[in-house]
Amino acid sequence: MGPLRENGELLFFPIKNEEEAIIFVNGKRLVLNDGLAHLTLLEYLRGLGLTGTKLGCGEGGCGACTVMLSCYNTVKQRTVHRAINACLAPLYSVEGMHVITVEGIGNQHQGLHPVQETLCNSHGSQCGFCTPGFVMSMYALLRSSKEPPSHEQIEESLAGNLCRCTGYRPILDAFRIFAKTDNTLYSYNASTNTSGDAKVICPSTGKPCDCGERVGNDSKDIGTSHPVYKPLSFSEVDGSFYGNRELIFPPELLSRKPHPLYLTGPRGMSWFRPLNLQDVLDLKSRFPDAKLVIGNTEVGIETRFKSIHYQVLIAATHVPELNILRVKEDGLEIGASVTLTELVDTLKQCIAQRDAHETSACSSFVEQLRWFAGIQIRNFASVGGNICTASPISDLNPLWMAARAQFNIIDCKGSVRTVFAREFFKGYRKVDLRHDEILLSVFLPFTRQGEYVKEFKQAHRRDDDIALVNAGMRVFLEQKDDAWSIVDASLVYGGVAPVSLSAVKTEVFLKGKPWTLQTLQGALQVLQHDIIIAENAPGGMVEFRQSLTRSFFFKFFLCISYNIQQKTQVLLGLPNSYKSAVDPYKRPSSKGVQSYECPLNGTAVGLPVVHLSAKLQVTGEAEYADDIPMPSNGLHAALVLSKKPHARIHSLDDSAAKAVPGFQGFFTAKDVPGGNDIGPTVNDEELFASELVTCVGQVIGIVVADTYENAKIASKMIQVEYEELPAVLCIRDALRAGSFHPNSERFLQEGDVDKCFSSGICYKIIDGEVQIGGQEHFYLEPNSTLIWTADGGNEVHMISSTQAPQKHQKYVSHVLGLPMNKVVCKTKRLGGGFGGKETRSAFIAAAAAVPCYLLRRPIRITLDRDIDMMITGQRHAFLGKYKVGFSQEGKILALDLEIYNNGGNSLDLSFSVLERAIFHSDNVYEIQNVRIKGNVCFTNLPSHTAFRGFGGPQGMLITENWIEHIARVLGKRPEEIREFNFQKEGYVLHYGQKLEQCRLQQVFNELKESCDFDTSRKEVDKFNSLNRWKKRGVAMVPTKFGISFTTKFMNQAGALVQVYTDGTVLLTHGGVEMGQGLHTKVAQIAASALGIPVNSIFISETSTDKVPNASPTAASASSDMYGAAVLDACEQIKSRMAPVAAKNRHTSFSELAQACHMERIDLSAHGFHATPDIGFDWRCGKGKPFNYFTFGAAFAEVEVDTLTGDFHLREVDIVMDLGNSLNPAIDIGQVEGAFIQGLGWCVLEEVKWGDPAHQYVRPGHLFTQGPGTYKLPTVNDIPLKFKVSLLKGAPNQRAIHSSKAVGEPPLFLASAAFFAIKDAILEARKETGHESWFFLDSPATPERIRMACADEFTQPFADSEFCPKLSV
């Protein structure tokens, strides 16, 4: 390390440095050694043992790695506190700064910070993997805010954080107590009210309000009573303090002056940090190919995911000339190193201080940046980096071009030239910069009187998403009498070409024209032929993207016209019904309401107990598989994967890999000590492909090395020679080729379908097809295993992130040729599973077991997010073909159904998924004549697998589609058809099971009353009549979900309960805690059984050497089964203790335990439960596959922007029948989380494969391989009003303590949002005369919504029956 100059000469080698490179982490001073230029801040922190900061995606898209970065700004004379993504920040980029992680703000021993405490108490943490990221995002907001933040600021600060479990509502409720107003959680103020007339307490006012329902005084709040937190103090150096243990900004950093850095990394990597512009230019002259970095938000992606290696990096963060932010009389000068957050702050100041007509461009940039990435990215990414990346979908470049911005460019000799932004972009990621030039600054001119600039963007998701199409538009108008003429215009689009593209012909057409509707129509005609997207363009969605170019311009015309009309009273002939099309989207704070009762059973059952691990999770102390310290001799593993969907392996060459430093071995099928054949139901897979590969991502071998980076580099150097073979890539390909998994056909029949169809009793017979896309699990914690041998290799132990430790045990035993009693698998907790870690995690552990066993060294394998998504399978895509006959009143008479799921290249659980889909293909409707045929398609894609609902949601979604079809044909509301055909108590289902304790009608009635459906319908109809381009829709959808594994032998559970002499209890069972609160519920059951408090119960982990042969934690049945097993064990212990208890009076349970011990009473018991009276015989098609059913119903109201396909959920109301809840707080959390996950499945999350529908993707490859391309719901996608009620007084006699299962049943209720969207689309279609039934595939993404709306803007590109392409 050393200065860059000595005696005026530039130095390019390390010399002794007079001042150390340092960093402060949680108040501790650390010296940064040389040789670490390749490390990210996240890797460094985790290397220090600060594992609370998680690796969720590695691309800044999930927020799990959020930390707070503090640095002193000498210009502003204050410390800046910002949340950043540690996974993208280069380690050396934070030199001289203070990093605070979740461990630094509070812990169990010293006390929790208020942010941690309120999140814990509000049930805002389920699996806990994302929790530290949320904590740090909120913490950074509070530390940086002098005054308490607004609700909007809180929600904006969390938009860059993803949660897969909670549904976000409890997180928002937790953090609202820090907002400006007096905010407590929504709570029912029942404790002080004895009249049975309690009201909801509003979190915005702290007073009773009408945003909730009146409930009886047996309802209780999920959370506890919270104080209102306000900052205790504020200083310009330390920010706001909310506690007395806040870490101050290190005094050393206040007085320390930055110094130049020259540091190195592996493979000849150099990192420079110059302090002045001349040094930057000198470095650029010396290293023309050097990459300038500020936030590393683009370079980090390139190095991690594109394997690009930059030899020289120049950090331009500390160069004053590049950090200029100067407001001039005619515009704003912006240095290239200015961060996007700093830019927004300055633009907002300009808007506040200058005349409105001058800041039209400023306002557009502020609005566009509001939806640009997450706040962690905006805090670190720079203006210049975003410009010079020259992305064709850049949100800002079209605006720079349209707003007449100028770019100042300086060369290595100091010469400056100015280029207009519209001339700067030359091609795909090519700009007008020579090797000896850099971008110095940007000049953004203020707008003139009569000049308007407007931004547009449409993405899959509103928040933190890359654009599908965006635009920057400007028009300069001149008034002549009562008319306006166009002096100049600029229309620039992104996402339509390899570069941001000006609509030149349209611009020419507009100049000199009057601003009239006639001009609008002419411009639209020109624009149609001006911006043309090639049919095979990357990204696809050609028809949608082309229609957006016209929609955006129409919106621009409306926006300017209404602006003119408002200012000058000049009427332009626009109807009032058009105005809502350009109303800016201002999302109010969401509101949550929960209604339930607490029938207490014993000391704990029925109470809303906080998740047992919540405190560990909010402090980052909870350990996950990848957090376990690596043994000193441990190795890291990386998989070698197939790059072809179907091919014969001709040869493998590892010679290049052997040359990688730290390489320890490459292992393939020939090295497997035991069996290479694996599979959860049939052994139709290979651990390592030996001769054939049947999908992209199939494992060919495994590389181990001293570091993960070296293992990954070596794995990419394995040369595989293939002979390509024909591939089947979708269900329709499989149907044409007759490609099905062996013996995977299923058939069920009840009544006589053909006779019904031919008898003439059917008023109508309809048919159709339903396509349902897949869904990625996106558990926040990637698959991970640490495996080692013991006792000279005689035993194998592993810690794995799995829902099925027994399957890991079995797979490893098999591939190593060891008996199962010598293999132990342990799991403490999962960072989410959702079915994805039931079977598809086992082969990963088994692969790592091979080098571990052969080398006798510990091996760690943790998958990168993109690899995890590519190889571990997803929710099955389905194709349903239906034919339905019904009466004139809407009575369903007959159903003939064919369903196919895409199983991928191995059977896995696809057969069972198909079976459950068949069982649920009636949803809740009586159908006397039923014929269902199903089959599992073999395709050359990675094997698909279990996912929450396990085929049930797909079967029910097909059903609800044809229910809607019937309703539209009859001209009735779908809700009428649904209720008219409801199953009733005693009804015999199409597979022979009699319906008992059927509370469907009760649930539906309560929902109708709760949501006031008739009034909502009328209000929506009124809105639609007054608005042409915004439409609202409503829907009510019921569900009935069967509880049990459909494979009988799996319905068994074991538990081990051990009472110690101090009265505490150690409990172990076969279930896995993955955020669903299983351990908490089981502990409550044990506490109530033994008459002790919950805090006397401890559950350490799930382990195959404690409870053997456990079924996977799945099928929503774990609380039922393991709760019953624990109760059995507790009852055994109680019966043994009873004689001792009868002899003497004991003042405490600990006294009793000690007395029993003295009497030599066994205080340990193994409990067992097997679900009784279930079983199904497919040979006769009759039986009782389910123990009972969970019922529910949901109401949804949506608003759709028909010009873009954008939508938001205005209201959701859910009623669930969960019996007597074991823990209502956990159950409501499961309902909300399942609904939001289901919302993703129905309307947001689209999986795209390289198949015939997506030919721009390489065959068989997964396009959606991370949060950058695959979009989960965010905090701003939840309903504005989110209400959940649990049915009261509805015990279930067939489960533990009269409870019901909750994990999977609510997910399907999100289809209410899908059908509400479809209802809104129907209203839009009526405007253009399209009133008949139409198909809408799932997910209902903006593309599908927009194209289904079928108006004059889509008509040139697609007809009204057009269905966008979908991977199925």
Contact between 218 and 83 under an 8 Å Cβ cutoff? The reply is no
Which residues make beta-bridge pairs with 1052? Answer: 1170
Q: Quick check: is 1199 catalytic?
A: no
Structure tokens at 902: 């895409």
Contact between 490 and 507 under an 8 Å Cβ cutoff? The reply is yes
Contact between 682 and 907 under an 8 Å Cβ cutoff? The reply is yes
Contact between 859 and 628 under an 8 Å Cβ cutoff? The reply is no
Judge residue 625's burial from the number of C-beta atoms within 10 Å of its C-beta, 0-12 exposed, 13-18 middle, 19 or more buried.
buried
d(CA 335, CA 382): 9
Residue 763: what residue type? Y
Contacts of 782 (CB under 8 A, 6+ apart): 55, 56, 626, 801, 862, 863, 864, 865, 868
Contact between 1188 and 1292 under an 8 Å Cβ cutoff? The reply is yes
Structure tokens at 626: 């990848």
What is the Cα Rg of the chain in Å?
31
Residue 859: what residue type? I
- The CB density around residue 1010, as the number of other CB atoms within 10 Å, is 18
d(CA 248, CA 1078): 39
d(CA 256, CA 191): 56
Which segments of 1128-1187 are extended strands (E)? 1164-1170, 1175-1177, 1182-1184
Residue 1308: what residue type? F
Residue 201: what residue type? I
Helix (H/G/I), strand (E/B), else coil: 1011: helix
Contact between 1197 and 1282 under an 8 Å Cβ cutoff? The reply is no
Which residues make beta-bridge pairs with 750? Answer: 930
d(CA 90, CA 564): 49
d(CA 691, CA 668): 11
Contact between 476 and 451 under an 8 Å Cβ cutoff? The reply is yes
CA 112 to chain centre: 27
Sign of the torsion formed by the C-alpha atoms of 227, 112, 606 and 1131: negative
Instruction: Report DSSP state, residue 894.
Output: E
Q: What is the dihedral of CA 933, 938, 943, 944, to 10 degrees?
A: -30
d(CA 750, CA 771): 25
Phi-psi region of 373 (alpha: psi -120 to 50; beta: other; left: phi over 0): left
Instruction: Quickly tell me which residue has 């990419």 as its tokens.
Output: 716
b/e per residue 365-382 (b: at least 16 CB within 10 A): bbbbbbbbbbbbbbbbbb
**Of 298, 1211, 1304, 1323, catalytic:** 1304
d(CA 775, CA 75): 49
Contacts of 23 (CB under 8 A, 6+ apart): 30, 32, 91, 94, 95, 96, 97, 98, 99
- The CB density around residue 146, as the number of other CB atoms within 10 Å, is 10
Sign of the torsion formed by the C-alpha atoms of 857, 858, 860 and 861: positive
Cα 43-48-50 angle, rounded to 5 deg: 85
609 backbone dihedrals φ, ψ, rounded to 5°: -65, 140
- The residues annotated with a catalytic role in the active site are 1304
